[in-house]
Chain A
């Protein structure tokens, strides 16, 4: 067992509880932090600590991922359990959901078996709770303090703080332990720490392999059906507790009439796709686009003009400083900044989906498909979060319990089109496809999904064959987070976006501008002429992209810069083409004299597809490296580039064929090719299949 040898300046308090009981909500309330919360189990995937003021005393509160018992099934549960066991001399706040008290108390008993100083905090989030609890009676029966509170509103928190002031003391062992044959187990093992002997005996009865290995007790003789025995003892005791002090209304936690529609066998998936399309339409076209246009107008016509005229009068029109500010900052950064409303809206909708509890229903409905791909329905959460930001989404892959499924989910997340990519689609797609850009963008999002599904299938058949997934998922009730919560989500995401634009994007744009306007001898190109640093590099890369239809060095270097952050792709293009508004960029993209231009709509489409699929940005790569190891990250990045190249090549050539021959002949040829491929595949599989001999009972 790990012990914490570091000198801890502050006393710690741990937040422990079942998933989705409001641990992080209470954490945010007590410490004033703004950690991500959601109506889904496993939102928190690592421990997070922060100090808070507990009636004048400074304490460090640690938020842990949710667990169901002291035995882990997935990685993030192991994190929590290791942390608890390494800090067994600290006070523990065990949060229980009042509406689902039976199962929550099972964990409480598990913690008491280990011998921890537990304060039971019963979280009551709804106005009409399903259960009513007699706190005093429960407290006297379990011999631990019980506090009723509301983590989102703050009711009952003072009482909790008072309880935290009491000195550390161990409660007596829970009574259900006397029903278990612990003595016979204890006689077979040797444990140095006598106070933990009950815990080890129970875990051996539960056939916990990690504990058995830890105390070298793999060969202990156990009674028959011992796992069941422990569970029955716990739940029988809970049933006794319930009889004594819990009044249940008989309603079922999580059940709702809405499920009749959302979980309908045939409607569930179409409804989900419809909701997704609705979200994208509202964000990118109707509502979001109006807001974005407004902001664009405001930024360009007022702020932009003001700054550029001030710069011109101060330094002169052609001075390099003026050009830097006008092209790199107003043109490049301004273009991305005008997408602020849309990014905000997208995150708002994603958080609505997450908070409402609908995602569990989607995971349930998509289990059919994902199970076949060697993933579990839980992957949908990670993939959907990928529409917002791949970096944070990759982290959520931790709640998969199979390592290979986790690697697969993490590797596929960057194929989801993240929020940084859609300015590229809107600007370039808008220039070439006009009103029908709706379908192009929707098609791109679906293409990302399709490619990841296809790759997942290929990985499952080849290198990443995952074990059977244990898809066990609880259903949270439908909830409405309230206007306040939505406002805070919106504020938080806008802040993140602005900080990102203000720091990363501005510095990247300045660097790209300098590289594209100065040569290797540091002479200013517009005055001296010659090739800039970026041009010299871009020219080397450009032939690589020529088969994809955009072999200009401008496009190549924009893609190269986009590896740092995907927003840089469009801001670099705006900068190269000396354009500052969407319409100016659109006009310049079709003009063969500008640095980045596309000869035909198919070339533009091919560029968009490549942007969708190619290597993840630096921060995602870093997180991938941390989560799935260097080897797999390198594989993910390289394979993503290759996949992007192949898919783009295919789409570009099909689009070109459509341009020259019309839609129907090309579709006909594709259908014919598909048919032939299908026949060949069928033929091969028939030949490969061993033929059964007559009267065969299988080969020995």
Chain B
């Protein structure tokens, strides 16, 4: 019984806290920023200035043809980001 619970808990944990980055997010679905990785300080700071802070709700609204640019909605406005930068924004 304990084993089953452990497995279930593990799966649920993985399901709920499964980390993806912004480029892998589905269109028009709400996510929450969980962290940042591999971004240079100046870019990270700019994203923070723009309101893309940890725990904030984001939603991908569009992608360009080759998926090199993303359009996201954050803090009540729309912002477009390059995919290279969006890769550094982790979501849950």
Alpha-carbon gap, A376 to B82, bound state (A): 9
Alpha-carbon gap, A232 to B66, bound state (A): 33
Task: Report the minimal beta-carbon distance from B34 to chain A, rounded to whole angstroms.
Answer: 11
A255 touches B64 (CB 8 A): no
Task: Report the minimal beta-carbon distance from A228 to chain B, rounded to whole angstroms.
Answer: 6
Most interface-central of B56, B68, B78, B84 (chain A CB within 10 A): B78
Alpha-carbon gap, A263 to B76, bound state (A): 19
B42 touches A228 (CB 8 A): no
B53 touches A235 (CB 8 A): yes
B46 touches A475 (CB 8 A): no
Task: Report the minimal beta-carbon distance from B47 to chain A, rounded to whole angstroms.
Answer: 7
Alpha-carbon gap, A235 to B48, bound state (A): 9
Question: Is B81 on the interface with A (CB-CB < 8 A)?
Answer: yes
The residue on B at minimum CB distance from A367 is B69
Alpha-carbon gap, A367 to B62, bound state (A): 13
Instruction: Give the interface size class of chain A.
Output: 35 or more
B63 touches A265 (CB 8 A): yes
Question: Is A600 on the interface with B (CB-CB < 8 A)?
Answer: no
Alpha-carbon gap, A230 to B48, bound state (A): 9
B50: chain A residues at CB < 8 Å are 68, 103, 472, 474
B85 touches A227 (CB 8 A): no
Q: Known contacts being A71-B45, A207-B41, A227-B45, is A474 close to B65, with CB within 8 Å?
A: no
Question: Is A231 on the interface with B (CB-CB < 8 A)?
Answer: yes
Task: Report the minimal beta-carbon distance from B71 to chain A, rounded to whole angstroms.
Answer: 6
A252 touches B77 (CB 8 A): yes
Segment touching B, from A150-158, A291-299, A463-471, A541-549: A463-471
From A230, A248, A363, give the contact of B76 (CB < 8 A). A248
A469: chain B residues at CB < 8 Å are 82
A71: chain B residues at CB < 8 Å are 42, 45, 49
Question: Is B19 on the interface with A (CB-CB < 8 A)?
Answer: no
Interface residues of A in 359-405 (CB under 8 A from B): 360, 363-365, 367-368, 371, 376-377
A68: chain B residues at CB < 8 Å are 46, 49-50
Alpha-carbon gap, A475 to B78, bound state (A): 5
A263 touches B62 (CB 8 A): yes
B65 touches A365 (CB 8 A): yes
Question: Is B32 on the interface with A (CB-CB < 8 A)?
Answer: no
Q: Mark A97-111, 1 if CB is under 8 A from B, else 0.
A: 001101100110000
B82: chain A residues at CB < 8 Å are 367, 371, 376, 469-472
Alpha-carbon gap, A364 to B65, bound state (A): 10
B79 touches A475 (CB 8 A): yes
Alpha-carbon gap, A99 to B77, bound state (A): 9
From A227, A235, A255, A364, give the contact of B69 (CB < 8 A). A364
Q: Known contacts being A469-B82, A471-B82, is A252 close to B76, with CB within 8 Å?
A: yes
The residue on B at minimum CB distance from A269 is B65
A231 touches B53 (CB 8 A): yes
Question: Is B54 on the interface with A (CB-CB < 8 A)?
Answer: yes
The residue on A at minimum CB distance from B52 is A231
B79 touches A472 (CB 8 A): yes
Q: Mark A227-252, 1 if CB is under 8 A from B, else 0.
A: 11011100100000000000010001
From A207, A371, A475, give the contact of B71 (CB < 8 A). A475
Question: Is A453 on the interface with B (CB-CB < 8 A)?
Answer: no
Task: Report the minimal beta-carbon distance from A370 to chain B, rounded to whole angstroms.
Answer: 9
Task: Report the minimal beta-carbon distance from A261 to chain B, rounded to whole angstroms.
Answer: 12
From A69, A227, A231, A377, give the contact of B41 (CB < 8 A). A227
Task: Report the minimal beta-carbon distance from B82 to chain A, rounded to whole angstroms.
Answer: 4
From A228, A265, A473, give the contact of B80 (CB < 8 A). A473
Alpha-carbon gap, A232 to B65, bound state (A): 34
Task: Report the minimal beta-carbon distance from A393 to chain B, rounded to whole angstroms.
Answer: 22
Most interface-central of B36, B47, B50, B55 (chain A CB within 10 A): B50
From A230, A235, A365, give the contact of B51 (CB < 8 A). A235
Task: Report the minimal beta-carbon distance from A565 to chain B, rounded to whole angstroms.
Answer: 38
Question: Is A587 on the interface with B (CB-CB < 8 A)?
Answer: no
Alpha-carbon gap, A549 to B35, bound state (A): 63
A235: chain B residues at CB < 8 Å are 51, 53, 56, 75
Q: Known contacts being A103-B75, A231-B53, A254-B77, is A368 close to B85, with CB within 8 Å?
A: no
Q: Known contacts being A259-B62, A367-B69, A368-B69, is A470 close to B46, with CB within 8 Å?
A: yes
Question: Is A268 on the interface with B (CB-CB < 8 A)?
Answer: yes
A69 touches B65 (CB 8 A): no
Question: Is A520 on the interface with B (CB-CB < 8 A)?
Answer: no
B85: chain A residues at CB < 8 Å are 470-472
Alpha-carbon gap, A367 to B84, bound state (A): 12
B36: chain A residues at CB < 8 Å are 228
Interface residues of A in 244-280 (CB under 8 A from B): 248, 252-255, 259, 263, 265-266, 268-269
- 10 extra interchain contacts, Cβ-Cβ under 8 A, other than A73-B42, A269-B65, A472-B80? A99-B77, A209-B41, A253-B77, A368-B69, A470-B43, A471-B69, A472-B81, A472-B85, A474-B50, A475-B77
On B, residues with C-beta under 8 Å from A are 36, 41-51, 53-56, 61-66, 68-69, 71, 73, 75-82, 84-85
The 3 A-B pairs with the shortest beta carbon distances in the complex, nearest first, are: A231-B48, A367-B69, A471-B82
